[in-house]
Amino acid sequence: MNQKPVRVRFAPSPTGHLHVGGARTALFNWLYARNRGGKFILRIEDTDQARSTLESEEMVKHDLKWLGMDWDEGPETGGDFGPYRQSERMDFYKKHAEQLLAEGKAYRCFCTDAELTAKREQAEAENRSPHYDGTCLRLSEAKIQEKLAAGVPFTIRFKVPEKAYTLYDVIRGKVHWEPGTLGDFIILRSDKMPVYNFCVVIDDHLMEISHVVRAEEHLPNTLRQLMLYEAFGWKPPKFAHASLILGQDRSKLSKRHGATSVGQFKEEGYLPEAMVNYLALLGWNEGKDREEYTVPELIKAFSLKRINNSPSVFDLDKLKWLNGIHLRKLTGEQLAEAAEPFLIRAFPFLKSRVENRDVWVLSVLKMIQNKVVLLSEIENWLQFLFHYDLKENEEMRVFFSEEAHLTAGRLLAERILSVKNLTPENFWEAAMSIKEDGFKGKALFHPLRALLSGSLSGPELDAMVPVLLSGTEIPELVSIPERCRSFIEVFGK
């Protein structure tokens, strides 16, 4: 069978940040396009002029790029089906609205807002359907011309056919709507601005979109859209409506549940690879017991048919876990790139070293690569390198209040200080010499860690020692001898 080429679109309304739900919709479309060798199109739905801003469009594009989703056609990118901003496509909408009007499939409605509200309230009071009552459908041609001549403002309403509609949704299966579900709806407002449901049909058709993949909340819109496709005599695209994303309390995911915008996750130190991996699992699975995917693996495995038709719960712990996994997979260079803004913000004096990928910076990152889960934690993990203050350190006071710890600490500090030019070899030789004084295993390593880092947790000693010894030309780094001297000052006899 000759299948239509896959052309899918992400169609954000630029009225704010890119949120988790939108990012997931974009991702499902993008993965599908890439899996099928199709095209991924970015269309900006900015007909709501009061709420749409270019700034928001830029933020959305920025976040999509950060997540690694590139588009083949779009506002600046161009393409054969442009323009890709709805505000620049008004002529198409006007022409098609006039076509429906001329064919008698739509009509001018001169009812004012006040009249419409009154009709609706009355219908509700009488327990009737609140649908538009068709007053203007029954206007005579003479009456219409009279109102037009008098300049009475009007909307254009679509004449809803009295029949049932059925959609075969790729994810949800058969969706059926009985006749009378909808009243005649507006397609062009009195200010000549077309409504979302109208623009989307014209655009999806003219842009030759093959599959509309979007959130379940658009399902009621799909009915309106199916009616419009039918009115124009166009074949609708295939539809795939992905289920809602819920918070842990099983209500629709919202700001109440914490970070929901992609930018916030970036700020908190999540990696784009982990976000993409997690977002893909938010409603999709391969049918295997598998959770870790790289982007190329997702592209290969993805299919619309395996998107669930039940809601998914946003699980921050799982996202964090995946972030740790993806973080550990990075090469030194990749980790430095991802960590750069976090490092510079926390330790501005390291700026040029970080930017130049200095070997010491790379060794520092390697030291904590297996420990850090979020990039924003780097700051805490590395504080000990540049700060060593035992006086105010309650944890150390408690630890060294134990006689054995204190003795080991003093011996270690003295032995290490007695070495002239410290190298990893002679450092360890000095440290290990306290074995002869009866300190072995934990009794040696815990005091050593405490002495070196001023903490009982932190990077592995084996990784920490070379980092402390090799950064001697960095003035902010507290050297090992300085640490030993401070120790003796606070805890010496």
Catalytically annotated residues: 255
**Smallest distance, Å, CB 218 to ligand GLU?**
5
**Smallest distance, Å, CB 139 to ligand GLU?**
33
The CA–CA distances, whole Å, from 119 to 126, 137, 449 equal 11, 15, 78
**Smallest distance, Å, CB 81 to ligand GLU?**
16
Q: Identify which of residues 63 and 133 has a Cβ nearer to ligand GLU in the complex.
A: 63
**Smallest distance, Å, CB 22 to ligand GLU?**
7
Handedness of CA 135, 136, 141, 142 (dihedral sign): positive
The CA–CA distances, whole Å, from 315 to 159, 162, 179, 295 equal 44, 44, 40, 20
Strands (E) located in 194-257: 211-215, 238-242, 245-246
Q: Which two tokens stand for residue 420?
A: 């002239």
**Smallest distance, Å, CB 43 to ligand GLU?**
8
Q: Identify which of residues 14 and 471 has a Cβ nearer to ligand GLU in the complex.
A: 14
Secondary structure (3-state) at 146: helix
Separation CA 469–CA 493 (nearest Å): 27
Tell me if 11 sits within 8 A of 22, measured CB to CB: no
Q: b vs e for 51-88, b when ≥16 Cβ sit within 10 Å of the residue's Cβ?
A: ebeeebbebbbebbebbebebebbbeeebebbebbbee
Separation CA 397–CA 391 (nearest Å): 8
**Smallest distance, Å, CB 83 to ligand GLU?**
16
Q: Identify which of residues 12 and 409 has a Cβ nearer to ligand GLU in the complex.
A: 12
Q: Identify which of residues 223 and 385 has a Cβ nearer to ligand GLU in the complex.
A: 223
Q: Which two tokens stand for residue 71?
A: 């588009």
* Angle separating helix axes 316-329 and 272-281, nearest 10 degrees: 140
- Residues, the chain, total? 493
Name residues contacting ligand GLU, limited to 5-34 (CB under 6 A): 11-13
**Smallest distance, Å, CB 91 to ligand GLU?**
20
Name residues contacting ligand GLU, limited to 223-242 (CB under 6 A): none
Q: Identify which of residues 200 and 274 has a Cβ nearer to ligand GLU in the complex.
A: 200
Q: Helix, strand, coil proportions of the chain in percent (round to 5)? A: 50, 10, 35
Q: Identify which of residues 14 and 269 has a Cβ nearer to ligand GLU in the complex.
A: 14
Tell me if 301 sits within 8 A of 293, measured CB to CB: yes
Binding mask 402-441 for ligand GLU (x = CB under 6 A): ----------------------------------------
Q: Which two tokens stand for residue 452?
A: 């070196």
Name residues contacting ligand GLU, limited to 261-280 (CB under 6 A): none
Binding mask 30-59 for ligand GLU (x = CB under 6 A): ---------------x--------------
Name residues contacting ligand GLU, limited to 200-219 (CB under 6 A): 200, 214, 218
Q: Identify which of residues 283 and 458 has a Cβ nearer to ligand GLU in the complex.
A: 283
Tell me if 444 sits within 8 A of 435, measured CB to CB: yes
Size of the site for ligand GLU (CB under 6 A): 7
To which residue do tokens 């093959």 refer? Answer: 210
Q: Which residues bind ligand GLU (CB under 6 A)?
A: 11-13, 45, 200, 214, 218
